[in-house]
């Protein structure tokens, strides 16, 4: 069964068999202007709320993921205007990062600047073998402003993040895989299909357990170990109040592992 809903012409949300695809479509480079940013945030909020969506793919299509912010739009902004603009940008990207479901970025072509930062908001990144990533903001006399200094550092480590951000250089797909910036590299024609396969494995899964696991990992990374372990213990115990926990454990005892049919409650 297929359901399609257009969020706007520049950002669409398509839902097919439990997988939601947030697709940026602003030719020719998918530059992230204010409208695109706002629509991404709105799409993230929608996929978070919808029970018919189990996992999410973020893509820019087969040619380019997103080549960064719309510099023409930003160039004329004053400091007070940029304060407001950057707050809305962070709000949109944070909404993506906090989608309480598995999220995969399907990266074709360029993922630069804000495009790379958007990909960093996903749980997993699958890239084309000819994809190019990077944070070239330094060449404009600024720094990454949508989470790049923080999410990139947490992903690849401080030294590698500094090298990429200080130089503004492009990172080819093979290097991105080697340093952990992406998780899988496939032929360009296979990127989206591979991402959908990854996302589809969570359809019919234990929704609340997946949400708890994601929150523990993401929020735990922001605090000290003792606090993170308390968070994990609380989330683990809380799942014993769910119907899926009862189903999963009963199925394991009666039928063996991996045969449970969860209901998402």
83-123: pLDDT as tens digits: 988 899 999 999 999 999 999 999 999 999 999 999 999 99
Tell me what pLDDT residue 85 has: 85
- Alpha-carbon distance of 231 to 236, in angstroms, equals 9
For 28-49, write each residue's pLDDT tens digit: 899 999 999 999 999 999 999 9
For tokens 């706007």, the residue is: 8
Q: Is 137 noted as a catalytic residue in this protein?
A: yes
Determine the pLDDT at residue 120.
Answer: 98
What is the pLDDT, as a whole number, of residue 68? 85
Query: Pick the catalytic residue: 35, 46, 73, 117?
Result: 117
From the candidates 17, 35, 137, 215, give the one annotated as an active-site residue: 137
- Identify whether the C-beta of residue 243 lies closer than 8 Å to the C-beta of residue 263: yes
User: Token match 């200080």: residue?
Assistant: 166
Average pLDDT estimate for 249-261: 91
Question: Which tens digit of pLDDT belongs to each residue from 181-220?
Answer: 999 999 999 999 999 999 999 999 999 999 999 999 999 9
Domains and CATH numbers, the chain: 2-200 (3.90.226.10), 207-255 (1.10.12.10)
Euclidean distance between CA atoms 107 and 133, whole angstroms: 9
Confirm if 122 and 96 have CB atoms less than 8 A apart: yes
Helix (H, G, I), strand (E, B) or coil at 221: coil
**What is the CB neighbour count within 10 angstroms for residue 92?**
25
Cβ neighbours of residue 173 closer than 8 Å, sequence gap 6 or more: 127, 128, 129, 130, 131, 132, 133, 182, 185
pLDDT recorded at residue 1: 42
Q: Give the bridge partners for 16, in sequence order.
A: 2, 19
Confidence bin at 77 (pLDDT 50/70/90): confident
Q: What is the pLDDT of residue 224?
A: 94
Residue 132 has pLDDT above 50, yes or no: yes
Peptide bond into 28 cis (omega under 30): yes
Does residue 73 carry a catalytic annotation?
A: no
pLDDT at residue 154 greater than cutoff 60: yes
Share of the chain above pLDDT 90, in %: 85
**Predicted confidence band of residue 71 (pLDDT cuts 50, 70, 90):** confident
């Amino acid at each position: 069964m297929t359901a399609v809903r257009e969020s706007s012409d520049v950002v669409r949300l398509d839902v097919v068999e439990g997988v939601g695809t947030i697709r940026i479509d602003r030719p020719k480079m998918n530059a992230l202007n204010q409208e695109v940013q706002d629509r991404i945030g709105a799409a993230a909020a929608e996929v978070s709320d919808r029970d018919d969506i189990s996992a999410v793919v973020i893509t820019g299509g087969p040619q380019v993921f997103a080549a960064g912010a719309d510099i023409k739009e930003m160039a004329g902004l004053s400091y007070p205007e940029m304060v407001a603009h950057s707050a809305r940008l962070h709000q949109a990207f944070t909404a993506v990062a906090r989608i309480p479901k598995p999220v995969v970025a399907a990266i074709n072509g360029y993922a630069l600047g804000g495009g790379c930062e958007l990909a960093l908001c996903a749980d997993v990144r699958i890239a084309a073998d000819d994809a190019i990533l990077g944070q070239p903001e330094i060449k404009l006399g600024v720094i990454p402003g949508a989470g790049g200094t923080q999410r990139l550092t947490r992903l690849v480590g401080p030294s590698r993040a500094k090298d990429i951000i200080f130089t503004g250089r492009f990172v080819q797909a093979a290097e991105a895989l080697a340093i952990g910036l992406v998780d899988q590299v496939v032929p360009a024609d296979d990127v989206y299909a591979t991402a959908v396969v990854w996302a589809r494995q969570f359809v019919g899964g234990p929704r609340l357990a997946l949400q708890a696991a994601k929150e523990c990992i993401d929020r735990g990374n922001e605090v000290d170990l003792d606090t993170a372990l308390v968070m994990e213990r609380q989330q683990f115990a809380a799942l014993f109040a769910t119907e899926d926990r009862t189903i999963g454990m009963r199925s394991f005892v009666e039928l063996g592992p991996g045969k449970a049919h969860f209901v998402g409650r």
